[in-house]
């Protein structure tokens, strides 16, 4: 039996206890703010690019940058920026200037970023059966602001932004605070859902089930390379997998909730 089928079977049997979500790109749709930021700066600088490929590259960079203090960003910026293909022919100082402008614009535009369609409705459904968590590289205050604006903060058992994590993804230690919130728990009762390879790597190394969601920054092909247990295109697909079994077996839903 494939790991995909194993995970689906466990979801149907009600043996999953908690779901850990990444935030930006997984629950919050950051594609337009990121695209707008890149296009505005590149147009101003006269840079031609494959926008989809650049969004993936800079999106991965943003995930790292937003979790770090400015001095550390400056110290590590040479290595960070060398993977942005569209900027390879540009001097390091210009790369730094361009990346800074994109990041500044993105922070502003991302404040108005919406949740994915039906995401809030789906979260409310999942809350009835699972403990929900957020483990994000964004700052906790930013995540909480989005949740409070939609009046859904209470859906989550806990929210861990970069400032509350002992270490960042892809290190599996980033997920440790989730497990420490229980007196006892088994790792195979948890799922990590994210749109970035770092989410999949962290989940695999931590020993939890992994779900790659291709509605964010990373393409389906990129996520497939990291072999998540389940690869989906949207949250709708995930809830449909659960509800497909539940609809045919009404008693399954009663089993799904496992008390902490």
**pLDDT score recorded for residue 98:** 84
Confidence of residue 253 (pLDDT cuts 50, 70, 90): very low
Token representation of residue 259: 């008390």
Confidence of residue 36 (pLDDT cuts 50, 70, 90): very high
Average pLDDT rounded to a whole number, residues 17-27: 97
pTM of the model: 0.86
Residue 193, pLDDT above cutoff 50 = yes
- Cβ(230)–Cβ(212) below 8 Å: yes
Confidence of residue 72 (pLDDT cuts 50, 70, 90): low
Confidence of residue 257 (pLDDT cuts 50, 70, 90): very low
| 54 vs 195, residue with greater confidence | 195
Three-state SS for 205-238 is HHCCEEEEECCCCCCHHHHHCCCCCEEECCHHHH
Phi, psi for residue 34 in degrees, rounded to 5: -70, -45
Token representation of residue 256: 């799904």
**pLDDT score recorded for residue 80:** 61
């Amino acid at each position: 039996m494939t790991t995909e089928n194993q995970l689906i079977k466990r979801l149907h049997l009600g043996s999953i206890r908690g779901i850990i979500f990444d935030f930006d790109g997984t629950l919050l749709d950051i594609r337009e703010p990121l695209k707008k930021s890149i296009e505005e700066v590149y147009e101003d600088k006269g840079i031609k690019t494959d926008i989809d490929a650049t969004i993936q590259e800079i999106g991965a960079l943003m995930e790292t940058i937003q979790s770090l203090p400015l001095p550390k960003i400056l110290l590590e910026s040479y290595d960070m920026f060398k993977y942005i293909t569209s900027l390879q022919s540009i001097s390091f100082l210009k790369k730094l200037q361009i990346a800074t402008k994109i990041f500044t614009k993105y922070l502003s535009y991302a404040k108005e970023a919406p949740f994915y369609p039906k995401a809030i409705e789906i979260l409310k459904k999942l809350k009835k059966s699972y403990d929900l968590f957020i483990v994000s590289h964004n700052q906790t205050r930013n995540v909480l602001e989005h949740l409070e604006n939609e009046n859904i903060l209470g859906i989550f058992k806990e929210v861990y932004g970069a400032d509350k994590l002992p270490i960042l993804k892809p290190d599996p230690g980033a997920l440790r605070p989730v497990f420490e919130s229980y007196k006892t728990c088994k790792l195979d009762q948890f799922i990590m859902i994210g749109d970035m390879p770092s989410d999949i790597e962290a989940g695999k190394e931590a020993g939890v089930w992994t779900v790659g969601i291709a509605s964010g920054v990373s393409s389906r092909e990129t996520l497939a390379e990291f072999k998540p247990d389940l690869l989906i295109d949207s949250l709708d697909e995930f809830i449909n997998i659960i509800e497909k079994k539940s609809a045919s077996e009404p008693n399954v839903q009663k089993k799904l909730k496992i008390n902490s």
